[in-house]
């Protein structure tokens, strides 16, 4: 629920928020405990060992190994509990689960543009279902922004030319604040919105109620043919001049410098805007850059299309569609690098 005032602690509405709060209160607790302890002992000693007589000389102190060991080891153990606990929460937060539903987010001075895989678009509003894992794939058209949902305890910079991800699972239906948390120009303070967490059935209704919009994968396919990508990266690579794209997403790709790389969102984006950066083994530097010809939203749509290629084209079907020894899998793509297959 949104309140007109700023609450001391935002509502707790995701699977992560309780864990972040527990760690936060542990840190506050340890800090308060030692502040009071030091303050208390200090006050006690100041009074107990005050100078009672003008010419009093204190007894010399020779030091104590026992005391020094204790006050080194105990703080070390406390610091390590913070490290281990913090690392555990960190790893959970920064490793999105594989089965999460993806939603695309593009930041822009000064709004958040959101697109669901089913095609629904939203501006400064994000509808999500309760109890399902959601992964946000985020970028920006201009400057650095920062996507922040206090109620879910998640926050990440959104950086030009890169994809950052966040994931969450909402636990409570409601309307929550969405902020830009990185100063991004004149109307930064107005770059706000709402996250609407709905019960799964209500969410499905909401999704189907807006279903006239084109899905990002379909939009991506249209851009793909408009830009002529298909002439080199044909449906099953029949162009042969570029690597086939079926099933490439998430797979390992061998590069012509002998290294290999996982074809993730960042790699595919880079291959579109800066194709010479990482050439697939066996393919020449013939692809022109598409920098400036496709917007960040279109890049995300092409990405959605390439991702969709893996489920829609099973390997056998892909092979049948390709007439000759055209690479249809990353393994074949690397095999194509050998002179015999060229």
Residue ranges in contact with ligand CUA by CB under 6 A = 107, 110, 145, 180, 182-184, 188, 191
Q: Which two tokens stand for residue 322?
A: 């390709």
Of residues 147 and 305, the one with the C-beta less far from ligand CUA: 147
Of residues 118 and 124, the one with the C-beta less far from ligand CUA: 124
Of residues 146 and 246, the one with the C-beta less far from ligand CUA: 146
Residues constituting the chain = 342
Q: Distance from CA of residue 251 to its chain's centroid?
A: 19
Provide the 10 A C-beta neighbour count for residue 277: 11
Q: How far is the CB of 158 from ligand CUA (least distance, A)?
A: 8
Q: What are phi and psi of 20, to 5 degrees?
A: -65, -45
Q: How far is the CB of 191 from ligand CUA (least distance, A)?
A: 4
Of residues 138 and 303, the one with the C-beta less far from ligand CUA: 138
Give the sign of the dihedral formed by CA 246, CA 248, CA 251, CA 254. Answer: positive
Provide the 10 A C-beta neighbour count for residue 92: 14
The closest alpha carbon to 154, from 141, 162, 143, 165, belongs to 165
Q: How far is the CB of 138 from ligand CUA (least distance, A)?
A: 12
Of residues 168 and 179, the one with the C-beta less far from ligand CUA: 179
The DSSP code sequence of 192-215 is EEEEEEE-HHHHHHHHHHTTTSPP
Of residues 189 and 291, the one with the C-beta less far from ligand CUA: 189
The closest alpha carbon to 170, from 191, 145, 143, 152, belongs to 152
Q: How far is the CB of 131 from ligand CUA (least distance, A)?
A: 30
Q: Which two tokens stand for residue 28?
A: 């506050």
Eight-class DSSP state of 340? G
Q: How far is the CB of 296 from ligand CUA (least distance, A)?
A: 14
Q: Which two tokens stand for residue 10?
A: 């935002």
Q: How far is the CB of 207 from ligand CUA (least distance, A)?
A: 27
Q: How far is the CB of 142 from ligand CUA (least distance, A)?
A: 9
Of residues 29 and 185, the one with the C-beta less far from ligand CUA: 185
Q: How far is the CB of 110 from ligand CUA (least distance, A)?
A: 6
Eight-class DSSP state of 58? P
Q: Residue 230, exposed/middle/buried by CB under 10 A (0-12, 13-18, 19+)?
A: middle
Which residues fall within 8 angstroms of residue 18, CB to CB, at 6 or more apart?
12
Of residues 144 and 255, the one with the C-beta less far from ligand CUA: 144
Q: How far is the CB of 289 from ligand CUA (least distance, A)?
A: 27
Q: Are 178 and 124 in contact (CB under 8 A)?
A: yes
Of residues 141 and 270, the one with the C-beta less far from ligand CUA: 141
For the chain, what is the largest distance between any 2 Cα atoms, rounded to a whole number of angstroms?
104
């Amino acid at each position: 629920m949104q309140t007109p005032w700023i609450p001391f602690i935002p509502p707790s509405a995701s699977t992560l928020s309780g864990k972040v709060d527990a760690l936060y209160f542990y840190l506050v607790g340890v800090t308060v405990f030692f502040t009071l302890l030091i303050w208390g002992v200090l006050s006690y000693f100041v009074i107990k060992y005050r100078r009672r007589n003008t010419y009093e000389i204190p007894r010399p102190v020779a030091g104590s190994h026992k005391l020094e060991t204790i006050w080194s080891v105990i703080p070390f153990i406390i610091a390590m509990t913070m490290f281990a606990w913090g690392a555990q929460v960190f790893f959970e937060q920064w490793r999105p689960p594989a089965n999460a539903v993806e939603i695309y987010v593009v930041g822009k001075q000064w709004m958040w543009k959101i697109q669901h895989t089913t095609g629904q678009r939203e501006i400064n509003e994000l509808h999500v279902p309760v109890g399902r894992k959601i992964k946000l794939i985020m970028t920006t058209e201009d400057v650095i922004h920062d996507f922040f949902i206090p109620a879910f305890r998640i926050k990440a910079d959104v950086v030009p030319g890169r994809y950052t991800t966040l994931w969450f699972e909402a636990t409570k239906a409601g309307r929550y604040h969405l902020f830009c948390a990185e100063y991004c120009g004149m109307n930064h303070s107005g770059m706000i919105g709402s996250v609407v967490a709905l019960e799964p059935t209500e969410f499905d209704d909401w999704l189907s109620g807006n279903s006239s919009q084109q899905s990002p994968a379909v939009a991506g396919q249209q851009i793909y043919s408009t830009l002529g990508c298909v002439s080199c990266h044909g449906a099953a690579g029949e162009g042969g001049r570029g690597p086939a794209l079926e099933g490439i997403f998430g797979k390992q790709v061998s590069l012509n410098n002998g290294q290999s790389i996982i074809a993730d969102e960042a790699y595919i984006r880079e291959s579109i805007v800066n194709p010479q950066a990482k050439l697939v083994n066996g393919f020449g530097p013939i692809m022109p850059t598409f920098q400036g010809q496709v917007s960040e939203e279109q890049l995300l749509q092409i990405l959605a299309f390439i991702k969709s290629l893996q489920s829609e084209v099973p390997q056998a079907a892909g092979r049948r569609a390709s007439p000759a020894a055209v690479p249809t899998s990353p393994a074949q793509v690397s095999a194509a690098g050998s002179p015999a297959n060229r």
